[in-house]
Structure formats: C-alpha cells, structure tokens
Amino acid sequence: MYYRQAGTYRTDYAQDMRLLPLKEDRILLGVVLLAAFAVIPFTASDYWLSAILIPWLCLSLVALGQNILMGYAGQLSLGAAGFMAAGAFACWNFMHRVDWMPFPVAVFLSGLIAAAIGIVFGLPSLRVRGLYLAVATLASQFFIVWVIDKFGWFKDYDSSGIITAKDIVIFGKSFTSPAEMYLVVLTITVVLTWAAMNMARGSVGRNWQAVRDMDVAAEVMGLSLLRTKLQAFAISSFYCGVGGALFAFTYLKSVEPAAFDINLSFRVLFMVLIGGLGTIIGSFYGAGFILLLPVFLNIFFHALFGKAVDATITSALEQVIFGVMIILFMIYEPLGLAKLWQNFQERMRRWPFKF
Amino acid sequence: MNAVTESHVPGVERAFPIGGPILQLDAISLRFGGVHALTNISFDIREHEVRAIIGPNGAGKSSMLNVIGGLYTPQEGTIRFRGETLSNMTPGKAARMGIARTFQNIALFKRMTVLENIMAGRRLFTHASFLEVALQLPRARREELESREKAEEIIEFLEIQQIRKTQVSRLPYGLQKRVELGRALAAEPQILLLDEPMAGMNVEEKQDMCRFILDVNDHYGTTMVLIEHDMGVVMDISDRVVVLDYGKKIGDGPPDEVRNNKDVIDAYLGVAH
C-alpha cells in the first residue's frame, strides 16, 4: 500500500542510517511540517491554537525529556514538573532582569539552568535504582517548588504570588497572538525533536540504552555509568525546563509555582507510558492522548446528551471512561501508542495479505 | 618454551605466531571476607595465544577472569600488562587497555538490535559529544559511519547478516552468544575474555563457536582467554591450559601435559582418601 519497502534500494550505509530511510516517510513528514507551519496558523481558530495545540506541543517536549530519562536511559524519575518550574522561573527572571534578551535565548538559558539542577538531582541515580530512584527524584519536585515559593527573589518580591508572563519579544517583534505564539513554540519543538532523534539513534542513545539494559556490560565496554546517567538527567531536564518555560509563557501566561505540582509530574509520566517508552514520537502521541482525550470526550458527551443530562454526571462519566481507556490500553498494548502505529505500518506493508 | 608457529590446521603457519607474555599475573590472592576465592596464583598469557582456564565448579575461574577484567581487585599480587604493573584496575581502565569480555550469563542489551549492540561495543572509538551527535556535526556523522562499517565487517565475519536488525531478546541462545562475541570484537580488543562461551549449547552450536573463536584468533590475532567446562573443546582449541581447584593453581601447560597431570586427574575424578 502506501508503505513499500520493496523497491527501496539502499546502496550504502549512509542511506540506511538516515533518519527516515523510506521515501514515503520523508514525503509524509514534509507534508505534516508544511501543514503545521503554513496552513494551521492561518486556518485554526484561536481556541484550537491556544487551548490545544500550544499546550500539546509544550507538554510533548516535557514528555520527550521524561522519555529520554525513563525510556532510553532507564532511570525512573518523578520530578518533571519540578524541572518545568525551574525552567519557567528561570525564563521569567532572565526576561525580567535582562531587558534586551530575546525570548528564544531566555528559553535556551532556562533549559541550561534546569539541566544544571537536573544533574544535582540525578546524583542519587548512581546509588539507587528503580522505584527507589523515583522516590529520590520526588525530592526535586517538592524542593524546587518550595525554594521558589520560599525565597522572594525568584519572583522579584512580587506580593501577589502570581506573576504575569511577559510578552514574547524577539528582536523587537512581539509575538502575542495565538498564531504567532504557536509558531514560536512549534519552531522550538521541531528543532529540539530533531536533536533528540539524532541523539536517540546515535551513539549517545546507544550509551543510554546500554546503561538501561545491562549496566555491568556497559561498564566493561568502557562506558562511564556516572557520566552517562548524569548526561541523561541533564538533557532530560533541559527538555523539561524548555517545555516548562514555553508552557508558562505561551499557555498559562502566568508564572506560578502552584501550576507545577506533583499532579503534572504524574501526567507527564502517564504520557510517556501511554505514548511508548523509548520512542521519540511516542512522547507526542502520549501528550496528545492525555491532553486531548478529555477534551474530545467532553465534546462528544455534549453532542450526545446536550443539556438533557446534568453536567456533573457527564463530567464524572468522562473521568470514568478516561480511566477505563487507560487501563484497557495498558492491557492490550503495554508498549504504547507508538507500537500501535508501528504495527499498523507493518500491516500496511503487506496489505492485503496477512503475512 | 619455543614460540608456537603452527596453527590449528596442521601444517599451516599461524598468521600471528605466539609471542611473549602480554599479561603476567603474579601471586594473585582474592578474598571475600573469609572465603579465599583465589590463593597465590601466578601464570602468564602470551600474545596471540588461546589460553584456557579450567577447573571444577567453584574453583575460582570466573573470579580469575573478573580480576583480569578489573571487576574485582585482588588483595595481593600484581598484574603486569606488557611489562607494565597495573594498579587500581577498573572495568573502564581494562577496556581502554584493550581487554574485552563476554559473560557467562549473556549480558546483551536486550531491547536493542544486533546491529545496535555491536555498534554500542564501539564505545571507545566514538569521541563525538552529545551536542555533535544532536546537531549531526561532521565528526559525529563520520564516527557513526565508521562504527557501522566496522560492525558490518564483524556481522559478516560471524555470519549473522540476516538478523542484523532483529532485537536480540528474540534470538535463540546460541545466536545471542555469537552476538555477544561480536559486541566484544567491536572494541577491537587485544585480549578477549570469554566466560564459558559454549555453556548450554548443543554440539552444532559448540562447533560453530569453536570455529569462530579460532577464526577470530587467526584473523585478528586476538589473544583469547576462555573458561570452559567441555574438556573436549578445551583440549582441542587451546594452546595452553591453566587448571584451578579450590582457588589454587594445580596445573599449567599445553593440553597434553595437563591431561596427564596427576593433580588434575585427581581434581576431576576425585581421589580416594
């Protein structure tokens, strides 16, 4: 069908090692990117842009960071929202204190700050692993938010507790409409996703996976467990920090510690699990699933019952169905949405035959 | 002892004649609390030879291999690599010196493909930082291509072309052992430590593995140190054999000499007290 491996000849290793070896995949990606950059900003409604697409992209980045740490490097962590908070507040402080700083630079620097904090909180991973490490990383979640709350400096002694995010200004041009903000977020997301894909399929990703699958063998090969684990923590926190800064500035439009609570960390964790551990694209599917399914259920129930049934009942029903779907999903495809998509591709390859 | 120049095929010259000692172990003692795993063991490993370490269960063979590989640090004794005394050995140091190994219980990266496993073994030849890899800068791309080429060479050598993109956890046991050998070879080691490479294999798989071990030795000149239980295999493929029993060395020499050593026979067959 659409996917045809037969007839695609690769005559050297470079061709086989491309990001997308199949021509059909490259065309598909081109079409998707073209639509995302040139069509959606002009056609989508403000509601779709600012309430669905922007948070989806931001949280996808965070999920991607979590996936690097959990799916590739095999280090269970529960501190994603803490690093998001660090990124968001770092970004606000950079923009607040350094007037001329362009938004992308501030976002990049706040990612670096989050990465530095990530290295510190990654240190326990050298001693503990699995669920125990998850509990140890919980410290980052509570500690970072507590520090931001406790010390007024981080909010520049703002008494209201909630700081409004600054306008996004890049070299004198301000990006304030939903479509403009969406483009900023989209560009950063695309670049960082490309970088993550390169790392994941290259030597860096192999090192992470080696540590995940068999750390003794990795060490015997000459890999430093210390450096590899901390590198994974740093890069993961960088993505979480950037995602958090974008989340605060383009979606929440305010910077407050309360937004980055433990619930958000858990949601990010679920995104990774449902999207598919150890797959880059799965982070996007997972973020979409967790974020959009409630919205679609809501629309669906409104269309189905309208005003006939009390709103509290429908919203409770939504929750129930959402939970049931997650359980079913984990039973029937524990490897996540990315695996479903892969199975579909493989089936398409030999369609209409079964084998 | 004169240098052995004859290969395992009678009448054919060895491509890499056995040279001088590459690794010398001198009076190694290793204790775990009150347990004496190794007591005062000395032997040497010569360049390009196939050296076997044998012994009954619990004799200390794996401990010996772990000492060489830097996983265990002996309380007493010295290890010299090409005449240089080593101290504070770590697995990483051993790897950089050119010592690679396989494990008794397969220690492959289960969720990676055969190709990825072997490329992961090229760790010491990849110097590009994560930034270079993320941005696909020239050095990262070049190293990746070199890794791939070397990995493919090994895949061809071990005759596993058709499974190169299969996840290793899906492979049968014998093939997994072969992939692990491939991953160790990817590091282009000078000394290759094989911990029971033939354990749990059927006759055919054992023959294949023997062939690969000898081929590696012949083709790359790699010095092989192997632990094995199958006496037939050991006597056939090794140049010299060390026999351990209860952490002590009881025999050392060419297979024929060891076979007729009284202590060795006693250790294996038991002796009437």
The domain that contains B108 carries what CATH number? Answer: 3.40.50.300
State the DSSP code for B80.
Answer: E
> For B134, which of A198, A217, A223 is closest by C-beta distance?
A198
Is A20 contained in some domain?
no
- Domain boundaries, position A68: 44-350
Q: Does A84 touch chain B (CB under 8 A)?
A: no
When pLDDT is cut at 50, 70 and 90, the band that residue A23 belongs to is: confident
- Overall average pLDDT of the A144-172 stretch: 83
Is B121 contained in some domain?
yes
The domain that contains A215 carries what CATH number? Answer: 1.10.3470
When pLDDT is cut at 50, 70 and 90, the band that residue B2 belongs to is: very low
Is A111 contained in some domain?
yes
Give CA–CA dist A217/B62, Å, rounded: 15
Which pLDDT score is estimated for B8? Answer: 66
Domains: count for chain B: 1
Is B221 contained in some domain?
no
Give CA–CA dist B206/B180, Å, rounded: 15
Is B270 contained in some domain?
no
pLDDT surpasses 80 at A262: yes
Is B92 contained in some domain?
no
Q: A59-74 pLDDT, tens per residue?
A: 999 999 999 999 999 9
Is A135 contained in some domain?
yes
- Domain boundaries, position B140: 103-188
Contact list in A for residue B144 (CB cut-off 8 A) is: 17, 202-203
Is B18 contained in some domain?
no
Is A74 contained in some domain?
yes
When pLDDT is cut at 50, 70 and 90, the band that residue B7 belongs to is: low
Is B268 contained in some domain?
no
Is A250 contained in some domain?
yes
Q: How large a percentage of chain A has pLDDT more than 70?
A: 98
pLDDT surpasses 60 at A1: no
Q: How large a percentage of chain B has pLDDT more than 70?
A: 96
Q: Nearest 5 degrees, angle CA A37-CA A41-CA A44?
A: 130
Domains: count for chain A: 1
Sign of CA dihedral A205, A208, A211, A212: negative
Is B126 contained in some domain?
yes
Q: Does A17 touch chain B (CB under 8 A)?
A: yes
Please answer yes or no on whether A216 and B107 come within 8 Å at the CB atom: yes
pLDDT surpasses 70 at B3: no
pLDDT surpasses 80 at B31: yes
When pLDDT is cut at 50, 70 and 90, the band that residue A348 belongs to is: confident
The 3-class secondary structure across B98-142, one letter per residue, is: CEEEECCCCCCCCCCEHHHHHHHCCHHHCCCCHHHHHCCCHHHHH
Task: Check: CB of residue A58 under 8 Å from CB of residue A238.
Answer: no
Which pLDDT score is estimated for B1? Answer: 42
Q: B49-90 pLDDT, tens per residue?
A: 999 999 888 889 999 999 999 999 999 999 999 988 988 889
Torsion (CA) A131, A112, A246, B128 in degrees, nearest 10: -80
Task: Check: CB of residue B22 under 8 Å from CB of residue B51.
Answer: no
Instruction: Determine how many CB atoms are found less than 10 A away from the CB of residue A99.
Output: 7
Give CA–CA dist B122/B102, Å, rounded: 15
B→A contacts (Cβ < 8 Å), by residue, are 69, 71, 91-92, 94-96, 100-101, 103, 107-112, 116, 119-124, 126, 128, 130, 133-136, 140, 143-145, 147-149, 152, 183, 187
Which pLDDT score is estimated for A161? Answer: 64
Which pLDDT score is estimated for A172? Answer: 78
Is B113 contained in some domain?
yes
Please answer yes or no on whether B133 and A203 come within 8 Å at the CB atom: yes
